[in-house]
């Protein structure tokens, strides 16, 4: 996390409820303020209403018209300062598949990996 007193707000986008809850709990334990939702449409709705979100952590494989890769590209175009971390256990995501500065973490991941990645990316902003 950064040296500021303001917590870093992270949006977790994951359609699997148990994984989403575990991720939220892990990131909160690491000191982040966490919002969560189950798909890209809900994520965009949250991002349109909030200006304090500094990072998005999303799964690739989600139901709906937009998967996690399309979501991070959309976020990078519309809200460029937001740090982006993508996870998947089904798809191998290459650096060229992500917007500039985005990171990929393969599932299963350790919560420390996710927290460290988000901390590092948000420290650059």
Dist. CA 86–CA 36, nearest whole Å: 14
CB atoms under 10 Å from CB of 112, counted, come to: 10
Q: Which of 10, 40, 4, 43 is nearest to 111 (CA)?
A: 10
What architecture (CATH level 2) is domain 9-124?
A: 3-Layer(aba) Sandwich (3.40)
Q: What is the pLDDT along the chain (125 residues), one digit of tens a residue?
A: 444 568 899 999 999 999 999 999 999 999 999 999 999 999 999 999 999 999 999 999 998 889 999 999 999 999 999 999 999 999 889 999 999 999 999 999 999 999 999 999 999 75
Q: What is the pLDDT of residue 2?
A: 41
CA angle, residues 103, 121, 13, in degrees to nearest 5: 60
> CA-to-CA distance for 125 and 109, rounded, in angstroms?
24
Among 92, 8, 99, 10, CA closest to 58:
10
Token look-up 């992500």 returns 98
Q: Cβ(46)–Cβ(11) under 8 Å?
A: yes
């Amino acid at each position: 996390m950064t040296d500021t007193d303001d917590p870093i707000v992270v949006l977790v986008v994951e359609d699997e409820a148990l994984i989403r809850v575990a991720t939220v709990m892990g990131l909160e334990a690491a000191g982040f303020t966490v919002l969560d939702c189950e798909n890209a449409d809900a994520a965009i709705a949250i991002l349109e209403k909030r200006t304090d979100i500094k990072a998005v952590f999303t799964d690739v494989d989600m139901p709906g018209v937009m998967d996690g890769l399309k979501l991070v590209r959309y976020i990078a175009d519309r809200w460029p300062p937001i740090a982006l971390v993508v996870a998947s256990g089904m798809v191998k995501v290459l650096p060229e598949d992500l917007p500039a500065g985005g990171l990929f973490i393969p599932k299963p991941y350790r919560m420390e990996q996710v927290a460290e990645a988000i901390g590092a990316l948000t420290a650059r902003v």
